Amino acid sequence: MEANQKIIFSGAQPTGSLTIGNYIGAVKNWKALEEEYQCLYSIVDLHSLTIRHNPEEFRKTCLSFLVQYLACGLNPERNILFFQSQVPQHTELAWILNCYSYIGELNRMTQFKEKSERHKDNINTGLFTYPVLQAADILLYQTDVVPVGEDQKQHLELSRDIAIRFNNIYGETFTVPEHHIPKMGAKIMSLQEPEKKMSKSDENPYATIYLMDAEDLILTKLKKAVTDAENRVAYSDNQPGIKNLITIYATISGIEPLEIQEKYDGKGYGAFKKDLAELLIETIRPFKTRYAEYMANMDYVTQIYKSGAERATAMAEKTMKKVKENLGLINLK
């Protein structure tokens, strides 16, 4: 790591499989930042424990997530790619930060409210303190910037508040992180209910496109995507379904939404959806090839996460020393 290089941290929960929402809102930007910053990209497996998993399946999903990161082009040499659970300092710091966050502020987290509404049978304590573990993920590395989608803004603000609070009591301990939320594509919507975020865990199979979806399935999902009766490819709030599809097109192609609107003037939804399917399929094809290559080379993948955990641990340990010192805990010499 170069001296004074700024630090980036981000992560995704290994449940299901990466969606084009995850890609556009997060992973695509992770890739764009990898040259300029020292980036740590984690598979936040401990966060996923707030829901129940079959252990065999979960192990596969976790590895598949790392391989999906690699498939999206994240450079395993430049970036530190690792499993959160392999760096125990995350949970160590989370405990400490629990003592510097308030029940009132955690109660206000919209994700907690939504998830406890959806999983009434399993409102576990982990779900409640989830944002504190997230703050620990970030603060542990003296992170400057956190690239995420729109839905994580509130969690990021809490991480900042905790860092400022701690620094005010004990002196400069943590870097106060900034979020990095893309101007366009920070919230890709469901293809079936365009007023709702596209999610990994949507029950409707046509709501979400996964990076690993088969090519013909991508076309089918787009054909079935909810639009409206206007039959006009317009980037307008009155047409949320088509607006979402234009956003996907624009972020993937780099073409401005209004240019796309002009291009499809008078052409109707069918042609637009077909072209969008083609664009997505072409974009994702090299990911799938890389995915298969890495899957066939698990020894290399193992090396990547081992080395990731070692590099992350070395950085994490520096922060933990400082935290313990500042708190008055006795460090082992």
By annotation, the residues acting in catalysis are 115, 197, 200
Site for ligand TRP in 219-258 (CB under 6 A): none
Task: Retrieve residue 300's tokens.
Answer: 């290399």
> 178 to 197, contacts with ligand TRP by CB under 6 A?
none
Interface region with ligand TRP, contact rule CB under 6 A, candidates 119-127, 132-140, 163-171, 271-279 = 132-140
Please choose, out of 145-153, 266-274, 291-299, 307-315, the segment that lies near ligand TRP by the rule CB under 6 A: 145-153
Give how far Cα 234 sits from Cα of 182, 227, 237, 242, Å. Answer: 21, 11, 9, 7
Identify whether the C-beta of residue 285 lies closer than 8 Å to the C-beta of residue 252: no
Could you say whether residue 272 binds ligand TRP (CB under 6 A)?
no
Number of residues that bind ligand TRP (CB under 6 A): 14
Task: Verify binding: residue 13, ligand TRP, rule CB under 6 A.
Answer: yes
Element of type H or E holding 180: strand 178-180
Residues 56-115 that bind ligand AMP (CB under 6 A): none
Identity of the residue, 225 or 320, whose beta carbon is nearer to ligand AMP in the bound complex: 225
Q: How far apart are CA 74 and CA 80, in angstroms?
A: 10
In the list ligand AMP, ligand TRP, none, the entry touching 25 (Cβ below 5 to 8 angstroms by class) is ligand AMP
Number of residues that bind ligand AMP (CB under 6 A): 17
Query: Measured from the CB of residue 247, what is the shortest distance to ligand AMP in angstroms?
Result: 9
Alpha carbon distance 175, 5 (integer Å): 13
The smaller minimum CB distance to ligand TRP, of residues 65 and 287, is found at: 65
Instruction: State the CB neighbour count (10 A cutoff) for residue 325.
Output: 13
Helix 125-139 with 110-118: angle, nearest 10 deg: 140
Over the window 54 to 93, marking each residue x when it contacts ligand TRP by CB under 6 A and - when it does not, the resulting string is: ----------------------------------------
Q: Is 152 in the site for ligand TRP (CB under 6 A)?
A: yes
Q: Binding ligand TRP by CB under 6 A: which of 24, 87, 148, 276? A: 148
Give the binding range for ligand TRP (CB under 6 A) out of 3-11, 71-79, 184-192, 222-230. 3-11
Separation CA 79–CA 308 (nearest Å) = 8
Q: Could you tell me the two tokens for 64?
A: 């598949």
CB 317 within 8 A of CB 89: yes
The three-point CA angle 187-254-202 to 5° equals 30
Output the DSSP codes for 84-109.
GGG-THHHHHHHHHHTTS-HHHHHT-
Dihedral over alpha carbons 30, 32, 38, 42 (to 10 degrees): 10
How open is the CA angle 188-194-198, to the nearest 5 degrees? 40
Determine the 3-state secondary structure of 136 from DSSP: helix
* Pick 16 or 236: Cβ nearer ligand AMP: 16
Give the x-and-dash track for 132-171 against ligand AMP (CB under 6 A).
----------------xx-xx-------------------
- Decide: is 12 part of the binding site for ligand AMP (CB under 6 A): yes
**What residue ranges bind ligand AMP (CB under 6 A)?**
12-13, 21-22, 24-26, 148-149, 151-152, 186-188, 197-198, 200
**What residue ranges bind ligand TRP (CB under 6 A)?**
9-13, 44, 47, 134, 137-138, 146, 148, 152, 155
